[in-house]
Structure 1
Amino acid sequence: MASGSPWTAQLAVREPSAWPAFLTENSGLPGPRANLALLHDVALAAGPAEIEALLHDGGEYPVMCAAAALALRAQDPLDAAHARSLATDGRWRVREGVATGLQLLGNSDLGALIETVGVWVDDPNPLVMRAAIAAICEPRLLRTPNGAAAALDCCRRATAHLVGIPASVRRSDDVRTLRQALGYCWSIAVAADPAAGLSMFQALDTTDPDVAWIVRENQRKKRLAALL
């Protein structure tokens, strides 16, 4: 699964053991943005040996790339389980790698992505739920009725799970990360299918303070404000 970019050509001539150092050197880190073009090409080109080398290295960017590669292969149960575990990593870039890899899966097989996020969104870990909604709530993946419906369904289910979390746990970092994602994902999902999405969004129970926050944050997004 190669993209044909210059990065892919450079990766192809390197042994798996050389990938971590090469990726670290070209990661763009430390800096405000990681090298996402390279991340995408690694996810597409990496095989089991390369993924193992990146995970063994343990550096933030190599593991981010490994997370994307594993998530892209989420149709394989073992790779899906490993990607799901990396969705709970303490490093936010690694978690983003998982969401990016799932989106790359959606590029080639939207049905497989929908099936995956449909399972992940019911995971008891808020960070796995967050990976599910962040992955499916990508505008380019919501151009079909199935994609748009899946995004709305994941937002609805993740919000319901959030409401079910005891108040004593709501202030944990993991739950706040889920809430932050819901604070923008709803607007993306609703904009993709306003006919179904607006009524679903407007039915959210804002007597819950976290749901009220989610609603306010999404109402500030231009894509949703124009519809409202």
Structure 2
Amino acid sequence: MSTRQALRLAVISAGLSVPSSTRLLADRLTEAVRAELTEAGREVEVRVVEVRDIAVDIAKNFASGFPSPDLSDAIETVTSADGLIAVTPVFTASYSGLFKSFFDVIDNDALTGKPVLTGATGGTARHSLALEYALRPLFAYLRAVVVPTAVYAASGDWGGKGDPLTDTLPTRINRAGRELADLLRTLPGGGTRADDDTDVVPFTEQLATLRPE
């Protein structure tokens, strides 16, 4: 008899301030994914990596070639997870240098096939395309599986004043959360013990779950 393990969800927040709108968006996305999986009867274990807290460790790793225990733990959190939520502030029309540096110390093959939901925050909606021309290519290079909906939150998106353009943030968060949850539910062996006899789901069928009906 097989025993289902909890799905492991890693959350990367590259915000620099406390509190941080980047962390707020990461938390909202996490709750959306958790709600979808809970409704489907799946347990989720969430581990959050605040990249700000290991910034010095990342810099020392570049100089020495050896990760500190805290950095090793953060890398293990990401590479061993069933799925990943990665959120960065946008600086100068792209992801932050700290966000990129963290993924630079992870092996290029470590995220192969891993479902990823990307998000970003910024002061103006003009930076929203950074998700498509910066973050999506980054994770495509790492051969991760990026869900279709990427979520950008500008300063004006928080609060809601009846504007049909800015008041869509909760809708986008829920849609992205559903897409990542759909992939996690259909992972071959995801969240199950190694002796489980679960049939392998072809990758094309996994992607089909994300298509609108």
Q: Comparing both chains, which one has the higher relative contact order based on Cα–Cα distances under 8 Å and sequence gaps of 6 or more?
A: 2
Greater helix percent: which structure? 1
Structure with larger Rg: 1
TM-score by length of 1: 0.32
Greater strand percent: which structure? 2
